[in-house]
Chains A and B, each alone.
Chain A
Amino acid sequence: MSGISKSIPKQDTAEKTSGEALYIGDIKVDGMLHAKTLRSTKTRALIKEIKLPDLPEGYHIVDYRDIPGENYVKIIFEDMPVFAEKTVNYYGEPILLVIGSDKQQILKLIDAIEVIYEPLEPRYKYTKSVVHYEYEKGNTDTAFANAVRTINGEYKTGYQEHIYLEPQGVISLYDENKITILGSMQCPYYIKNAVMQVLNADEDGVRVQQATTGGAFGGKEEFPSLIACQAAVASAKLKKPVSLIYDRMEDIETTTKRHPSLIKFTAAIGPDFTVDGIRAHVSLDSGAYIGLSGVVLQRAMIAASGVYTIKNLSVSGDVYETNSVPNGAFRGFGAPQMFFAVEMFMEHIAKELKYSPLEFKLNYLAKTGDATSTGGQFRNPIIMRDMVHKAWEISDYRRKTTEFSQLGVYKGIGMSLFLHGCGFTGSGEQKHIKAVVRLRKNKDDTVTILASSTDMGQGAATTLRKIAAGILELSVEQIIYNKPDTDHVPDSGPTVASRTIMIVGGLIARAAVDLKEKWKPGEEIIVEQRYKQPEFIKWDEDKLRGDAYPAYSWGVVVSEVEVNPVTWTVELKGLWSVYDIGIAIDERIVIGQIEGGLLQGISYGMMEVMECKEGIIQQRNVTDYIIPTAADSINMHTVLMDNSYPLGPYGAKGAGELPLVGGAPAVAMAIENAIGKKVTRIPVTPEYIMELMKNG
């Protein structure tokens, strides 16, 4: 373990255990009004008329007509309105806000509003493609022409809801020249840019400050921009502070979720019973608006060959629009769907061809220097073989595989192999994000990190300080990190895509080197670093060709389960995992990310059920949408294998999303092996197992 990996206390633990940390719901502002959203009760309809009651003094309605700028939320693809205008496209779509001081009165007014709709035919199936991509590596046509047989696979994944413990919320403050948004968020500058566009304001007209954020997992990547825009419009109109804070049910029903998917594969099996080519198609359900679904699709498609080198690969994908709640960012961003599918498919090919699945997979495992799915190159050493051996050893994998294969045992063990590209896909960093980081040396010889990266629990406030302190040879206490405020920090990009340590931390490291050279005691000095894409990265955004990511983090998860043959309920018996995330900046923080991410992945694979029936989410609270409790979790055995990445700070790569990606396939495979039936969808619930046992 390298020195930087040695764990230190986190910056924010004390204020959190003592209950002093201020989350958005804890902030009170003088004269603050409350806002409640009137929502569509139709999945698709024209709004013919809105009958409003007389508003008492001090009560207001804010809708699309109050927007000075554009009625779109600035996300990657701008199609989601801030407030519905003529049509509503999903159940729960925001139409207007009722605002005032007394919550009871607001509810009364909401109840008194009558919206007259003319229903339109809604769409719930994968029929209307709104984004399409495809890419090819090698020549699949030839591979298929020469195939002795083909093997098909079709895999389905369900919704996943973030259930960050703190629901969404923002407060908009009014000043003559400035709207200030306080809120629970991952990406202050996403919000700033979105609010500027809606208010038609310039840089100085909008300020965004992060409040302590109670978990996010991607759920507070783009969604907060919507409610920030709404609150800002209200605040600008009423010249008052306005709070828009969701309760849990509203949050579950109306905020973004992980995209459900349908993934189809065909493999060309050559004369020597090898996989000579794979064709894959990915369908994602975007819900009513596209938002960032196209980018999620790209990440899913790029992962189509998993951790394997498949010479001939043809991948296409579509985002389908449906009249349901829009889906969005969620830890893993398309990769969890694809890794479930591709890991199961490789397993199923092996079983079909009567190979040992693991030996089979190892034969195709990508090696250092191999071409990636998109024709880029794995430049940095791949140590997956050692990782798999480690995982075998710590989980007693081989013995258990044999022991559990006996009939009537109902125990199973499964292993998933996976990777996650670190940072934005392709040239996103260079072309779109253009991260800037500053370090300010203060007169008292402390150093302040000026970056927009947020800490939402994952520990950036501690790890980023460690990086700066290490290079400047200062104590961590001498490095100051405050929650981002766009009036004080430059745009170092959003806190997403496993980029914070590798990209932003990398910039901080470089700035620290610079500052060390310029260091003069007692003086204020500011240094700045801007992201520069490594020269070797070439990416064709339209054709999805080239190096999709500068670096990859890798993982192996082994899961052991026991299935109850009376109820088909599944009990987790063991979880072992091994990772290559370069070098851990703080081992305990990384293990915390791993354990939390892995459990989210495991429960995505076996527990978390969310269904959308006729456009309406059926599991609307945490009683019905089940996530694991402490009693469902088990001790996890985690090994980090150092594999320093030359361009990362201290050799670090990304770690935030990776652990979630491997959970679902590992547990699905363990269940498949326990019941001896082919599993092709997640979550693998007892209800689904029953079906498999009956029909399989």
Chain B
Amino acid sequence: MAEIKFVLNNEKVQIDRDPTMRLLDVLRDDFGLIGVKEGCGEGECGACSVLIDSEVASSCIVPLGNVFDKKIVTIEGFKKTDRYKVLHEAYEEEGAVQCGFCIPGMLLASESLLNKNPHPSEDEIRDGLSGNLCRCTGYNMIVRAVQRAAETGEGLW
């Protein structure tokens, strides 16, 4: 066990846990952040995506011990931002949400991408989202949603 301190959705938190635990389990079970999903458990599907210091990461393969002093943002924290509003509206407008299981992770991957590259090309979007599997949409509506968000959210990123 170890005392792990980090910033979770803009609040300082501290937890006494086995540091080899998956960040995913800590977020879901200890903090009740169920928007973080487990789709594969091996870092392949992106359903468990969170932001670590603003960059998307697969929380199922991040040990808790690696988030010391880091800033973690889950969909629950992200949904309070203006960027979320723009992304949500773009996803809705483009019809990019079907079963929704990949969507919290997909939104955070979109945020991470736009944060680095506010005007991504189509290929850059496809590449930026390539770690987030979606089996419902065929991805095109998601790609268009990110394009739309980049336009309507001009200046936010």
Contacts and interface: CB of A to CB of B under 8 A. Distances in A.
Q: Are A and B in contact, CB atoms below 8 Å, in the complex?
A: yes
Interface in A566-587: none
Given A213-B99, A247-B41, A633-B126, A20 B133 contact: no
Interface string A13-28: 1111111111101100
A163 B101 CA distance: 12
Contact of B100 (A9, A214, A621, A629): A214
Interface stretch (A227-235, A371-379, A452-460, A645-653): A452-460
A217 B138 CA distance: 13
Contacts of B129: 629-630
B138 A599 contact: yes
A164 interface: yes
A212 interface: yes
Interface in B119-138: 122, 125-127, 129-138
A596 to B, nearest CB: 5
Contacts of B127: 630-631
Contact of B40 (A217, A248, A456, A630): A248
Contacts, number: 176
A598 B137 CA distance: 9
Nearest to B123: A631
Contact of A248 (B42, B103, B125): B42
A627 B92 contact: no
Given A19-B79, A592-B136, A595-B138, A12 B100 contact: yes
Contacts of A21: 100
Contacts of A167: 39
A599 B131 CA distance: 17
B27 to A, nearest CB: 11
Given A10-B95, A599-B138, A627-B133, A457 B100 contact: yes
Given A166-B39, A629-B130, A631-B127, A16 B103 contact: yes
Contact of A16 (B97, B125, B135): B97
Interface in B56-114: 74-76, 79, 84, 87-88, 91-92, 94-95, 97-104, 107
A70 to B, nearest CB: 33
B122 to A, nearest CB: 8
Nearest to B85: A17
B82 to A, nearest CB: 14
Nearest to A21: B100
Interface centre among A21, A214, A458, A622 (most CB of B within 10 A): A214
Contacts of A628: 139
Contacts of B140: 595, 633, 635-636
A591 B130 contact: no
B40 A214 contact: no
B150 interface: no
A81 B16 CA distance: 45
A597 B98 CA distance: 12
A26 B40 contact: no
B35 A215 contact: no
B126 A214 contact: no
Interface string A33-47: 000000000000000
Nearest to B104: A19
A621 B42 contact: yes
Contacts of B26: none
Given A18-B75, A19-B74, A166-B37, A592 B141 contact: yes
A240 interface: no
Interface in A265-304: none
Contacts of B125: 630
Nearest to B122: A635
A600 interface: yes
A162 interface: yes
Contact of B98 (A23, A162, A215): A215
Given A165-B45, A621-B42, A215 B97 contact: no
A636 B138 contact: yes
Contacts of A178: none
Majority secondary structure, A binding face: loop
B142 interface: yes
B138 A166 contact: no
A589 interface: yes
**Interface size class, chain B:** 35 or more
Interface in A287-329: none
A695 interface: no
A623 interface: yes
Interface string B32-48: 01111111111011010
Q: Which interface residue of B38, B99, B122 has the most chain A CB atoms within 10 A?
A: B99
Contacts of A19: 33-36, 74-76, 79, 103-104
Contacts of B130: 629-631
A458 B137 CA distance: 10
A685 interface: no
B143 interface: yes
Given A17-B87, A25-B38, A630 B99 contact: no
Interface in A1-17: 7, 9-10, 12-17
Contact of A621 (B40, B74, B84): B40
B132 to A, nearest CB: 7
B101 A23 contact: yes
Interface in A147-171: 162-167
Contacts of B84: 17-18
A630 B132 contact: yes
Nearest to A249: B41
A344 to B, nearest CB: 23
Contacts of A678: none
Nearest to A215: B99
B135 A596 contact: yes
Contacts of B126: 629-631, 633
A165 B138 contact: no
A622 to B, nearest CB: 5
Contact of A10 (B47, B97, B101): B97
A217 B98 CA distance: 12
Interface centre among A17, A215, A636, by most chain B C-beta atoms within 10 angstroms, is: A17
Contacts of A589: 95
Given A163-B135, A215-B135, A636-B138, A16 B41 contact: no
Contacts of B100: 12-13, 15-17, 21, 212, 214, 457
Contacts of A390: none
Contact of A622 (B44, B91, B142): B44
- Of B35, B79, B101, chain A has the most CB atoms within 10 Å of the CB of B101
A34 B76 CA distance: 27
A17 B79 CA distance: 8
Contacts of A26: 34
Nearest to B108: A19
Given A164-B101, A598-B138, 17 more contacts: A7-B95, A16-B97, A17-B103, A18-B79, A18-B104, A23-B37, A26-B34, A165-B136, A167-B39, A217-B135, A247-B38, A248-B40, A458-B98, A621-B40, A621-B44, A631-B127, A636-B138
16 contacts: A7-B95, A16-B104, A19-B33, A19-B36, A23-B37, A162-B135, A212-B100, A214-B99, A215-B101, A247-B38, A591-B141, A623-B42, A629-B126, A629-B132, A629-B139, A635-B140
Interface of B: 33-42, 44-45, 47, 74-76, 79, 84, 87-88, 91-92, 94-95, 97-104, 107, 122, 125-127, 129-143
Interface of A: 7, 9-10, 12-23, 25-26, 162-167, 212-217, 247-249, 456-459, 588-589, 591-592, 595-600, 621-623, 627-631, 633, 635-636
Q: Which 3 A-B pairs have the closest CB atoms?
A: A19-B35, A457-B99, A16-B100
